Copies of this chain bind each other. A is one copy, B any other.
Amino acid sequence: MNTALQEIVKMSDQGATTPTPSAAPAPPAGRPPKVGNRGRASGPTDSDNFEAADIPELEFFVAPGPRGYPPLTEFLDIWDVDMMRRRDETNKTDHRTSLYHCDNLIVRRGQEFQIKITFSRAYKPNEDKFAVEFVIGTNPQYSKGTYIPVFPTKTQQSSWEGRVIQSNNNVVIMGVTPAANCIVGKYHMYVAVQTPFGIRRTKRDNSRDLYILFNPWAADDAVFLDDEAERQECVMNELGIIYHGAYDDVSERNWNYGQFNFGVLDACLYIMDRSEMPITNRGDPIKVTRKASAMLNSRDDDGVLVGNWSGDYTYGVAPTSWTGSTDILLSYSGSKMPVCYAQCWVYAAVFNSFLRCLGIPSRVVTNYYSAHDNDGNLKLDIILDDNGRIDRSRTKDSVWNYHCWNECYMTRPDLPTGFGGWQVVDATPQETSDGMYRCGPASVLAIKHGQICFPFDAPFVFAEVNSDVVFYSRKKDGTLEPVKVNKSHVGRMVLTKAAGSDGRRDIIDQYKFPEGSPEERTVLEKAEEFGCKQEKSSPPEADVDVVLPTLEISVGDDFEFNVEFVNRSLQKRTVEAYVSGSVVYYTGVSSNEFLFKTPTVTVPAQKSVKELMTIESRDYLSHLVEQANLNFIVTGKIKETGRIVTAMKVVTLHTPKLTVEVSGGGRVNEEMMATVQFTNPFSFNLENVYLRMEGPGVMGLKSRYYSLLPGGSSLTWTEMFTPQRSGKTRVMATLDCSGLRQVSGQASVTVET
């Protein structure tokens, strides 16, 4: 036993020959403090566009002599650097970035831009050595693509090409071509002169910072899109139309994407920085769009928009009230807090702004009757009781009347060839599916061909357009028997705005083959191989059809809802029917049932009989939620055969319009006037009414609040504005209050130079 231990033995009052165990100290209560990255990584992740790296002005190759370092000032000196960043200079016009409200240079990768450097004397290519250096992030490294020197001579070139375009006395115009796969973001720029003793650099100057974007015009860029009309629409157009309503009664929302507005580009970069996405991945549109689909919603990561479908928007802006993305993006980057509130089209619209702003071609699409939250399962279950009436407590699946998502255009080098082109990305958080708070990019071509084994989230999107609605009859012993399978209800139509016009375009043929075609069958079999579960049974069809009317009704109308029973058989048929009408959210979730009838209808052989029903506005008006959709479901049992008949229909009630009128001016920098008018068509008051108005390129967001708009009364709101640029555009306005949502109007404006 050595001395040290002798001591402890003496110290121990138990006289033991070993050190004494004692009670372990309790850790402090509550959450442990945040753990740093020490031991885990050699430094923090480089994921910031806005923090500058520290690049030295002088960098010596040699040790200091007796009089210190040699004076590098004897060599070529830089007097001035001109980024040629004015809106009308070739850099911005050639790169199609003149519209951005930003003083800095903005260019697209894979395409040359110019810099004018004034030296202290004429540049001598054989003697002088200099480089233009581009730096992004806090930890610039050549091998990571975050530090790129660009050289003016052919013999010495880095991953970005450089050349002297013009050399005139002291002034050199240098051409720089960023690699077509370079990082997209905000770079700092230096000019470095290399001398035998070391390097001398220009000082850091914020005005020389430049933004490099994706380039759909460059053949080598992963987002290259070889169609000028599509590029003008999907990159350059700020004016959006987003479709909603019902597939047989389509409504339109106008939207100001605002991708060129002041601060929007910085906000989009902030979103990526906030996600802590490594800078080095920011040149890959697959990774950028996937990350953004996660960051556009606030789930998991404190992203941009908080989803709310509840009807209570007290603590934010109602989803139906927004007119554009600018306010949302600037609010997020300003407050660094998620913005309240969004539903699917808000997610899709803001995502679209993000994508177009960074130069990724993108569009918003609307899928009518979208299967949702069912996690790649191809069945939506509707449970009927023994008599053919819907069992609402057991029917939990819902079909969204419509759902909006985004398509963006890119190659897919991560997949086998053939799956490039349009890709689905979706930022709406899928609450009840398997924690999917991001979705895509999923190749539209892969979805069409049932090749859903490829990333990302293709089975989910496949189900959204291909699910079957299965009606089950619940038997007394608790089991379910499928009695009707509706294969054509879901994915009825996918609409997007046509390129170059305000018309709509149905692109459902890009998602699936025609219903009933042999190709469609093959695709469903292929998808089934990859685990998509389909309903296999094909219960015998009833010989009575139920036909529901197509109606265009306005909120507050009384209307007739006539259910037609068509007997295709050669015998008389008696249908014991259940006709149910309920107010539904656009998510298909029912709120209140306002109509329930149980007619017994006798239909002679090969005849049709109409059951007439009158719906009065007082029946539904007090129950209306959100987007004023009425969902009618007719189910029933044919007495003679025991077969089940079903029919479903969503009727979207049209809301009153805002009248928007624009007058005066019509020229850049001349004042104009916009007038919004609205009359409360109801006998009841509207309270806490919000109005918003904006116009791409002509008017920033304006808003107004009325605490009370009495029944029958009118309001008139006038705003002056001064167009900043010429062209055709629109002024769009919305009105929103808890009693009446989704009221909008717009006026076209043509501004001459």
Q: A: which residues have CB within 8 A of B?
A: 1-2, 4-5, 7-8, 17-25, 27-28, 31-33, 35-43, 45, 61, 129, 131, 133, 139, 141-144, 147, 149, 151, 156, 158, 192, 194, 199, 275-278, 280-281, 287, 291, 294, 300-301, 306-311, 314-316, 337, 340-341, 373, 375, 379, 381, 383, 394-398, 413-416, 431-435, 452-456, 459, 470, 472, 474, 476-480, 529-531, 585, 587, 589-591, 625-626, 685, 688, 690, 703-717
Contacts and interface: CB of A to CB of B under 8 A. Distances in A.
A22 B707 contact: yes
A7 to B, nearest CB: 7
Contact of A455 (B23, B455, B685): B455
A480 B158 CA distance: 9
A156 B413 contact: no
Contacts of A27: 314-316, 340
Contact of A143 (B291, B383, B476, B713): B383
Given A39-B625, A300-B300, A414-B530, 14 more contacts: A18-B714, A18-B717, A21-B705, A36-B310, A37-B432, A40-B431, A42-B395, A45-B432, A141-B394, A147-B478, A149-B479, A275-B435, A278-B375, A287-B434
A398 B589 contact: no
A307 B34 CA distance: 10
Contacts of A17: 716
Contact of A715 (B19, B455, B703, B713): B19
Contact of A478 (B45, B133, B277, B712): B133
Contacts of A7: 710
Contact of A717 (B21, B25, B45, B133): B21
A316 B33 CA distance: 11
Q: How many copies does the complex hold?
A: 2
A291 B706 contact: no
A20 B383 CA distance: 51
Contacts of A715: 18-19
Contacts of A713: 1-2, 4-5, 8, 18-19
Contact of A39 (B1, B28, B310, B688): B310
B705 A435 contact: no
Contacts of A585: 39-40
B194 A476 contact: yes
A194 B714 contact: no
A470 B144 CA distance: 13
A459 B415 CA distance: 11
A478 B142 contact: yes
Given A32-B316, A476-B61, A278 B709 contact: no
Contact of A454 (B280, B431, B453, B690): B453
A379 to B, nearest CB: 8
A711 B340 CA distance: 61
Nearest to A337: B31
Contacts of A397: 42
Contacts of A474: 142
A727 B54 CA distance: 64
Contacts of A294: 435
A10 to B, nearest CB: 12
Contacts of A19: 706, 708-710, 713, 715
Given A39-B626, A705-B21, A315 B477 contact: no
Given A396-B141, A476-B194, A706-B21, A431 B626 contact: no
A587 B39 contact: yes
Contacts of A432: 37, 41, 45, 278
A131 B340 CA distance: 50
A280 B337 CA distance: 34
B373 A41 contact: yes
Contacts of A472: 143
A306 B40 CA distance: 13
Task: Give the residue among A39, A139, A276 with the most B Cβ atoms within 10 A.
Answer: A39
Contacts of A31: 337
A139 B396 contact: yes
A158 B477 CA distance: 10
Contact of A37 (B18, B36, B431, B479): B431
A54 to B, nearest CB: 11
Contacts of A306: 32, 35
A35 B435 contact: no
26 contacts: A1-B713, A4-B711, A8-B708, A19-B710, A21-B704, A21-B705, A24-B690, A25-B688, A31-B337, A32-B340, A35-B306, A36-B310, A37-B431, A38-B310, A39-B311, A39-B591, A41-B373, A41-B589, A42-B395, A42-B397, A142-B478, A143-B472, A291-B434, A414-B452, A415-B453, A453-B454
Contacts of A716: 17-18
Contacts of A688: 25
Nearest to A133: B478
A531 B454 CA distance: 14
B396 A710 contact: no
A503 to B, nearest CB: 32
Given A308-B35, A587-B41, A714-B18, A479 B158 contact: yes
A291 B414 contact: no
A453 B133 contact: no
Task: Give the residue among A22, A311, A453 with the most B Cβ atoms within 10 A.
Answer: A453
A307 B35 contact: yes
